[in-house]
Every structure is written in structure tokens, then in C-alpha cells.
Amino acid sequence: MAKTSRIPGLYKMTIAERRSLVSEVTGVTEKEMDHALDGGGLDAETADKFVENVLGTYALPFAVALNVRVNGKDFVVPMVVEEPSVVAAASNAAKMVRTAGGFSVEADPAVMISQVQLTDVPDVAAAKKAILARKEDLIRVANEAIPGLIARGGGTIDLEVRELADASMLVVHLLVDCLDAMGANLVNGVAEYVAPRLAELAAGRMGLRILSNLADRRCIHVRCRARAADLATDDMPGEAVIDGMVNASRFAELDPYRAATHNKGIMNGVDAVVIATGNDWRAVEAGAHAYAARTGTYLPLATWRRIDTEEGAFIEGKMTLPLALGTVGGTLRVHPAARLGLKMLGTTSASELASVAASVGLASNLAAIRALASDGIQKGHMALHARSVAVAAGAHGDLVERIAAMIVEARDITLEAAKRALELLDPKGEGAIEVTEE
Ligand code: MEV
């Protein structure tokens, strides 16, 4: 938790000024930021311990989303993402949500599913009965594989048997509360440990023994509101924006082609937080999309409706998605920038981390469909693109915004136009940095 997640004007400051202010509100020191973030946060020697055949590292921007308030607590949220406007859009949307009370989140317990496949089962009904009759004993055996987790208060809490559309196949699910761990290693260990016993009881053979990434026992349920007045744009009143957003939600609810893009906008926010805190974003992506398709039709993870209250009209968004994240183990143990990301967030709780990541996902969705329902997405993207063109032309400080505004206004967002604008505003080159032409 941060002292506050409101830092007006952060985007206009230099990186050094930003580090100083973020340090003030999060308690992470500037020295820690210098150490963990300069040079991409990971040296080649450390990277060489992660995977095979390492040649070097590949850096991405590490930024922070502001204004995020979840269950009454403020968070300065680390985001690692290469796409322009994702961080700005999430921060803007979080600001609107904040003035309407912030994000409300409920997190399921950290229960992961460990799957054991049983094949060549001669009598599936008898096998199911035999396994369920020894449920308590099997849970006890499963827990022998994870003494550390048991000592911390987690462990296997249930066992289920599922029949599949194959008369000789069964799958056993062991449900394991992984507490603050993502849990892949724990549940894989459980599956491998208990599988021989299960195969024996089923009079069949062991098949696969692995976690399921459809972590639907570990969902985050998040909701938020934003006021019509805060949603209004220069060209559109707030109530019309609400209508457009409800329309956008209905589109995604009715069309999987749109739902995929709607969900991509959510994952823009979620993944960036997942990566910044050293978690497995492929697992999160697999789980989110499998969950979106759980009914047999691919659906939007978040939906939006108009709410009329005594205070006026609001848009209300609701989202549920599985989020298997950890605050211990894995990459966190070895990646300095991931450790810093978590420290900046100020939590050691995996469910709180997942609550924040989901909130940023819902904020990203709010921002995207608000833009799509009003000005269209290109206007904002072009403004950001214009800033990078201005920087490429050699502008810095205040000049970046001024030149970006000029080339957007002239509808000529090119390097040449930015150079001409720079020449005009700063003929002596006093405020411009030197650029070398390729
Ligand atoms: C782009 O990264 C994400 C959007 O396409 C999401 C959406 O269409 O809702 C803008």
C-alpha cells in the first residue's frame, strides 16, 4: 500500500524526479530503484541462470500506474509494457473510478487444481467410487508431498473425480490451497506423488500429472463505477459516453470476434502488472481465455451497465477472471526488478496482488471502451505517438508537449514536421538535446 497513488503531473517530470516522488509515496528508495531498474533490471550473468543458451537480456519499459485504489487502499502499481498509452489510459480510468469510490474486489482462496489423468480404466464408475471412498486418505497422502505448504497453513483441501467423453478415462482433481505462492511446482508435486495410488485404485494407468491453468477456483471478482461527468469528453456528454460504453459491452457479449479484442484490452493492464511482479503471464493468459470460453461461447471477461442513483448516472463494470499469482518463489527470488515491483506495490499477499492486477485490467477496459465509444482510439494513440516523434526530433522538457501538440494540430505527425516545429520554437537549440542522424 502507498501513502497515496495520486501524483499529479508525474508524466511531465524527468525520470529522476519521478523516482524521487515514487520513493516518497511508496517507501522504496531511489537507490533501490537505481539498482533494480538501471540497465533493464537484470544482468546477463543472472539471466544465464534463468534459461538455456542465454546471449543477453531484452529490456522493456518499467512504469507505474497511478490513482489506483482497491478496497480502500492506495497502490502505486508497477507495469511492464511496451505499448504506448496503456499506462496513461489505466491511470486516467483509475482516477475516474477513484472519485466514485475505487475498485471493490473479492478474492477466492488461492486454490489451484492439480490434475491426474487415469487411462485404461476398466470400469470408470467403480473406479470413481473407489477413489471417492478413500478421499480423506488420498488428501492425507497428497499433503505428504508438500510439508512446507502444510506448515504455512495451506495444502490439499479437496478431491474431485471427473468423467470425460472417453469410457476408459478419468481425471482426478486435487484442490490445493497455495496461499501466497502461484503454486505450479507445489501442485505438480502433489499430482506426481499421489498418482500411483490413484491408478491402483482405478485399476488403470497413470497419464498426465500437472496443474490446470484454468484456475477457476482462484478467481478475482472486481467491480467499479465511474460518474457520467467524469466520463464526458470535449465532444460528448457523459451520459452519451455511458450509452456508448453499454453498447460496446453488448457488442462484446454478442460477438466473440469483439470479445477477443475487449479481453485483449483487459489483459493489457493485467499482464503488465503480472510481468512487473515476476509472475507467469502465459499461465494467466491461458487461464483468462479458457475462463472466457467456459460456457462453450467465448465471452467478455468484463461487462458494463448504466446505473442511475440519487447522485446521477454512472457506468458500472464487473469482471471475474482466474488469477494465479504469487508473491513468493519463482522469478521473484532472482529478478531484482520483479522484487522491486512487488515492494513498490507494498504487499506480500498474493490475493492482494491479484486484486490490484485485476483492477488495473478493469481500468484498462474502461479506458479502451470509453475511447472507442467517444473519440475513437486513434486520437489518444496519435497524441502519444506525436510525443515520441517530438523526442526523436531532439525535443526535451516542455518542448516535447508543445511540439507534439503542434504536429497533431497540423495533422502532420512526421519527423520532418517535428524538426520544423523545433526549429521554430527553439532556433538556438538551447532547450533541445543533440540527436545523431542515422
Ligand atoms: C489495444 O491494445 C486494445 C484495444 O483494442 C482494446 C479494445 O478494443 O477494447 C483498444
CATH architecture under which domain 10-107+220-375 falls: Alpha-Beta Complex (3.90)
Cα-Cα end-to-end distance for the chain: 45
Instruction: Find out whether 176 and 111 touch, Cβ atoms under 8 Å.
Output: yes
Ligand 1 in reach of 248 Cβ (< 6 A): no
Report CA(256)–ligand 1 centroid distance (Å). Answer: 14
Q: What does 248-261 look like in DSSP terms, one character per residue?
A: HHHHHHH-HHHHHH
Ligand 1 in reach of 260 Cβ (< 6 A): no
Ligand 1 atom nearest to 262, measured from its CA: 9
- Whether the predicted pLDDT of 429 surpasses 80: no
- Whether the predicted pLDDT of 396 surpasses 90: no
Mean pLDDT of the chain: 94
Q: Which residue owns the Cα nearest ligand 1 atom 3?
A: 265
Ligand 1 in reach of 268 Cβ (< 6 A): yes
pTM of the complete model beyond 0.85: yes
Active site residue 106: no
Instruction: Find out whether 170 and 204 touch, Cβ atoms under 8 Å.
Output: yes
- Whether the predicted pLDDT of 49 surpasses 70: yes
Report CA(166)–ligand 1 centroid distance (Å). Answer: 40
Ligand 1 in reach of 368 Cβ (< 6 A): yes
pLDDT: is 116 or 395 the higher one?
Answer: 116
Instruction: Find out whether 274 and 281 touch, Cβ atoms under 8 Å.
Output: yes
Ligand 1 in reach of 265 Cβ (< 6 A): yes
Mean pLDDT lowest among 242-251, 297-306, 401-410, 426-435? 426-435
pLDDT at 432: 53
CATH architecture under which domain 111-211 falls: 2-Layer Sandwich (3.30)
Mean pLDDT lowest among 27-31, 55-59, 377-381, 431-435? 431-435
User: Which of 79, 267, 372 has most ligand 1 atoms within 8 Å of its beta carbon, as the pocket-test mutant?
Assistant: 372
Report CA(222)–ligand 1 centroid distance (Å). Answer: 20
Active site residue 335: no
- Whether the predicted pLDDT of 322 surpasses 60: yes
User: 159 CB contacts (<8 Å, ≥6 apart)?
Assistant: 131, 132, 135, 138, 139, 142, 172, 173, 174, 175
Options 177, 230, 271, 280, the catalytic residue? 280
Name which of 108, 97, 104 is nearest 157 in CA terms. Answer: 108
Q: Which residue owns the Cα nearest ligand 1 atom 6?
A: 265
- Whether the predicted pLDDT of 103 surpasses 80: yes
Instruction: Find out whether 187 and 168 touch, Cβ atoms under 8 Å.
Output: no
Q: Which residue owns the Cα nearest ligand 1 atom 1?
A: 265
Active site residue 430: no
Other beta carbons within 10 Å of 22: 21
Grade residue 435 by pLDDT with cuts at 50, 70 and 90.
Answer: very low
pLDDT, one tens digit per residue, over 135-153 is 999 999 999 999 999 999 9
Q: Which residue owns the Cα nearest ligand 1 atom 9?
A: 262
Q: What is the mean pLDDT of residues 411-437?
A: 78
Ligand 1 atom nearest to 248, measured from its CA: 9
Q: What is the mean pLDDT of residues 156-182?
A: 97
Greatest alpha-carbon span in the chain: 87
Q: What is the mean pLDDT of residues 230-248?
A: 96
From residue 52, give the alpha-carbon distance in Å to each of 49, 55, 277, 384. 8, 9, 22, 37
pLDDT at 431: 62
Q: What is the mean pLDDT of residues 175-185?
A: 97
Name the grid cell of 145. 508431498
From residue 425, give the alpha-carbon distance in Å to each of 128, 389, 396, 399, 422. 78, 16, 12, 8, 5
pLDDT, one tens digit per residue, over 108-138 is 999 999 999 999 999 999 999 999 999 999 9
DSSP 181: B
Instruction: Find out whether 422 and 393 touch, Cβ atoms under 8 Å.
Output: yes
Grade residue 400 by pLDDT with cuts at 50, 70 and 90.
Answer: confident
User: How is the chain split into domains, by residue range?
Assistant: 10-107+220-375, 111-211, 379-425
Contacts by 405-409, CB closer than 8 A, 24 or more apart: 408/382, 408/383
Give the whole-number percent of the chain exceeding pLDDT 70: 97
Name the grid cell of 215. 484456475
User: Which amino acid is located at 314 in the chain?
Assistant: F
